[in-house]
Every structure is written in C-alpha cells, then in structure tokens.
Amino acid sequence: MTATRDGDRATTTRPTVQTTNLHPHRTPPIHVSLSLKRLLVDLFDAETLRHLATLMESECPGMIARARLDDASVEELADLLTNGRKPTIGWWSRHAA
C-alpha cells in the first residue's frame, strides 16, 4: 500500500541541493606574452591588481602557512630556501604558530 498525504502519493526523493566547491582544483599557470601583460596592467589600476594578488595568495596553502610563521621561523625558512633545501612537513608542524 502506498502512503498518501492529502490524497497525493508520497514521494521518497529529497529536494535538490546545490553545492559549491570552496577549493577548486588548481589550473596550471598560463604563460602570456610581455605585450599581453602590459595590456593587463594598462587595463587595471594598482588597487585592483593588489586585490587580485591578495585573492590568489589567500588560496595558496604555502602563503597561508608562511603568514602564520613568527619572525624567527621566517628567517630559518629563508635560510633553508637560500641553501637549496626544502622544509619538511615536520619543520612546518614544529614552526606552526
């Protein structure tokens, strides 16, 4: 027997839910010519370009992690990178604020 409500047949489907992807997959960088770069700089003012750069940095895990380092850890990271070494996951977890 089918359950009814107010004379209508009951449904078992749920309403459609829309989801958004907060962390979209990164796309490979696009290499553009110098003339196209100059055109983009001419089209946008400095404030807009700074805003776009901030948006890009806010989505980059490396930039997020670097922003959480204290001054001593930043110096140590700079020493590692200038000596051609890469910080390990252990280094990051020890220096996380």
pLDDT in tens, 57-83: 777 666 667 778 888 888 898 898 899
pLDDT confidence of residue 43: 92
Cα 34–Cα 53–Cα 50 angle in degrees, nearest 5: 90
Given a cut of 70, is residue 84 above it in pLDDT?
A: yes
Given a cut of 60, is residue 1 above it in pLDDT?
A: no
Closest by alpha carbon to 71, among 95, 37, 89? Answer: 95
Percent of the chain with pLDDT over 70: 64
**Is-above-0.75 flag for pTM?**
no
Pair 15, 7: CB distance under 8 Å: no
